[in-house]
Structures are given as C-alpha cells and as structure tokens.
Amino acid sequence: MKKGGAIPPSVGTETETIMLGGKKVKFKKGALHKQLKIPLDEDIGNSNLRKIKKGEVGDMVRVKGKMFKITSLMKKRATFGLTLQGKK
C-alpha cells in the first residue's frame, strides 16, 4: 500500500445480504461512506445521493464540503442507497 494513501473501500467492509425484489442482493455495508470519507454514524443525505446519481462519470461533486470525482462505482452505490430508501 502507498504511503499516505486512503484505505480502499473494500478493506474492512462487512458484506451483507438482503432480499430486494425477490432476489438476494449482496453488498458492502458502509462502502459509500468510506468512499466519501463520511463516518458511518453520519447521514450522507438524499440530496447528495441524488447529486451523485444525476452527475456524469468524471464530474466533480461537493459532498459535506469535500470535492469528489464521480466514478461509475460511486454512481452505482448512490443509486443502490436511494433504492434501499425507496426513493428515486
């Protein structure tokens, strides 16, 4: 691992399985929080999830005062978070 590098979202992340639409879905609990460097006890917010979902891959987005480049994985995680909340 590089010096001073961030811990990859997959390290130390618990995998959870839920039923969604009659299918089993596995996901890494807290992975988007880690990717956005937001503590698990803090809410990301629906408006931030929608900003990420609507943005294009490569665009910059401000979340909780920090700038992040939107990746395809980040978009998938934000969309999944909105789906779990029942909001689109």
Q: What is the pLDDT of residues 55-87, one digit of tens each?
A: 999 999 999 999 999 999 999 999 999 998 885
Residue 85 corresponds to which amino acid?
Q
Query: What total of structural domains would you count in the chain?
Result: 1
Which string of b and e fits 11-46 if b means at least 16 CB within 10 Å?
eebeeeeeeeeeeeeebbebbbbbbbebeeeeebee
- Residue 7 to residue 31: CA distance in whole angstroms: 11
Closest to 55 (Cα-Cα) out of 36, 79, 75, 37: 75
pTM: 0.79
Cβ proximity of 44 and 33 under 8 Å: yes
Domain assignment of residue 4, yes or no: no
Read off the tokens for 36: 């956005």
Range of the domain at 78: 14-85
Read off the tokens for 32: 């988007």
Domain assignment of residue 64, yes or no: yes
Domain assignment of residue 65, yes or no: yes
Q: What is the pLDDT of residues 21-49, one digit of tens each?
A: 899 989 999 999 999 999 999 999 999 99
Domain assignment of residue 9, yes or no: no
